[in-house]
Amino acid sequence: MGDTIFGKIIRREIPADIVYEDEDVLAFRDLNPQAPVHVLFVPKKPLATLDEAGAEDAELLGKLLLAAAAYARREGLAGPGYRTVINCNEHGGQTVFHLHVHLLGGRRMHWPPG
Ligand code: AMP
């Protein structure tokens, strides 16, 4: 995959409001938040899309979701609830081609999404 803005954030080449980091995952606030809490959970491994993930990435995908859930719990979002989203490719609305999980919370979400 080509480099992306998220790759630059992971390498600390451009700034971001980082809220969580471990060996495999980086999380930072979305620049254009769609909810009071809007954080992106990004694997340090440069996967472009969910479609590119394979069986070898099963643990990594689990870590991304568990990191998002733990963050939501710490921020008091788990009780009221929150949403996680992975957009994939054009019809999914993906604009940055480095896999990421959106965590949205702090307001009531609507369904179906647009
Ligand atoms: P997606 O449309 O699912 O690919 O989501 C990409 C998200 O990245 C959007 O919600 C953007 O607002 C967000 N975004 C783009 N550039 C940055 C940045 N430099 N720092 C934080 N979030 C960003």
Reported pTM: 0.98
From 5, 30, 85, give the residue whose CB has the most ligand 1 atoms within 8 Å, as the site to mutate: 30
Is the domain 5-105 a CATH 3.30.428.10 member? yes
Predicted pLDDT at 114: 82
pLDDT at 2: 63
- Tell me, in angstroms, the distance from the centre of ligand 1 to residue 30's CA: 6
Given a cut of 70, whether residue 14 has pLDDT beyond it is: yes
Find out whether 49 and 94 touch, Cβ atoms under 8 Å: yes
Q: Half-sphere exposure of residue 112, counting CA atoms within 13 Å on the CB side? A: 1
Q: CB under 6 Å to ligand 1: residues? A: 5, 16, 28, 30-32, 40, 87, 93-96
20 bridge partner residues: 27
Report the C-alpha gap between 97 and 42 in whole angstroms: 11
CA dihedral 33, 37, 42, 47 (to 10 degrees): -50
Nearest by Cα to 103 from 59, 23, 41, 18: 41
Q: If you measure from the C-alpha of residue 39 to the centroid of ligand 1, how many angstroms do you get, rounded to a whole number? A: 10
Residue ranges per structural domain of the chain: 5-105
pLDDT digits (tens, 9 = 90+) for 31-89: 999 999 999 999 999 999 999 999 999 999 999 999 999 999 999 999 999 999 999 99
- Measure 96 CA to ligand 1 centroid, in angstroms: 6
**Quick check: 1 pLDDT over 80?**
no
